[in-house]
């Protein structure tokens, strides 16, 4: 895979590769067209520090995620066992689908928290560009998962890559979100209320 980074304001971040002799080229516009999603909106790609956006402050999302914590601050440790069922579900969706980087679900990264703020606050975000950067990050790391594996077929078909002889892989149960997803995460509905009932390998919820 070759990475081409914009050298002028008129060029876009893009990826190129060759699969079975067929050249593949992806930028945000092409990827958005393949997936039928928008490619407009803001874009930030930070993993270790808080995103610097004019209308955003870390305390904005922290006060939403941890409403019962009077001591929130940008340098606090972010854990998911303090989240409500809605926010934990959203975090699971981000880790598994929107920003798949591998690892567990116990901790909340600053980039994940920022994406949660965008979704909750209905701030438009350029998701195709985030996908491209996530692919590059996975490619350059020694230990990494394959991100967005479930959409590779669409990308190959768009670029007319011949897929004869390839073995089909069904979507995993984790790729479908429903009541069972919450049950696997340790949440059970008791008396009409979602209650966190973790297994031994799942952390206790902190109030």
Integer Cα distance of 205 and 84 in angstroms: 9
Q: Taking 90 as the threshold, does the pLDDT of residue 67 lie above it?
A: yes
Residue 187 belongs to some domain of the structure: no
Residue 201 banded pLDDT, cuts 50, 70, 90: low
Percent of the chain with pLDDT over 90: 37
The first and second tokens of residue 114, run together, are 């920022």
Q: Domain total for the chain? A: 1
Residue 200 belongs to some domain of the structure: no
Residue 176 belongs to some domain of the structure: no
Residue 183 belongs to some domain of the structure: no
Residue 149 belongs to some domain of the structure: yes
The Cβ-side half-sphere exposure at 106, using a 13 Å CA radius, reads 8
Residue 120 belongs to some domain of the structure: yes
Residue 152 belongs to some domain of the structure: yes
Average pLDDT over residues 102-116: 87
Residue 200 banded pLDDT, cuts 50, 70, 90: low
Containing 153, the helix (H) or strand (E) segment is: helix 152-158
Q: Which residue has the tokens 């610097």?
A: 52
Residue 13 banded pLDDT, cuts 50, 70, 90: confident
Per-residue model confidence as pLDDT tens digits over 71-89: 999 999 999 988 988 898 8
What residue ranges in 117-156 does DSSP mark as E strands? none
Domain that holds residue 45: 3-159
Per-residue model confidence as pLDDT tens digits over 168-189: 877 777 677 777 777 877 778 8
Residue 7 belongs to some domain of the structure: yes
Average pLDDT over residues 101-121: 88
Cα angle vertex 69, ends 66, 73, to 5°? Answer: 85
Containing 3, the helix (H) or strand (E) segment is: strand 2-4
């Amino acid at each position: 895979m070759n990475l081409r980074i914009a050298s002028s304001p008129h060029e876009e971040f893009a990826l190129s590769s060759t699969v079975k002799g067929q050249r593949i080229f992806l930028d945000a516009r092409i990827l958005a067209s393949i997936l039928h999603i928008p490619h407009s909106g803001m874009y930030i790609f930070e993993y270790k520090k808080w995103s610097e956006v004019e209308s955003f402050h870390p305390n904005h999302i922290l006060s939403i995620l941890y409403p019962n914590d009077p001591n929130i601050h940008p340098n606090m440790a972010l854990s998911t066992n303090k989240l409500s069922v809605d926010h934990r579900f959203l975090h699971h969706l981000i880790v598994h689908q929107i920003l798949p980087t591998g690892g567990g679900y116990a901790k909340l990264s600053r980039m994940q928290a920022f994406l949660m703020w965008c979704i909750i606050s209905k701030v438009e975000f350029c998701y195709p560009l985030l996908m491209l950067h996530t692919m590059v990050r996975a490619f350059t790391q020694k230990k990494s998962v394959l991100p967005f594996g479930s959409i590779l077929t669409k990308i190959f078909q768009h670029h007319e890559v011949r897929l004869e002889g390839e073995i089909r892989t069904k979507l995993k149960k984790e790729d479908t979100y429903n009541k069972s997803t919450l049950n696997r995460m340790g949440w059970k509905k008791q008396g009409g209320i979602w209650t966190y009932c973790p297994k031994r390998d799942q952390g206790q919820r902190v109030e």
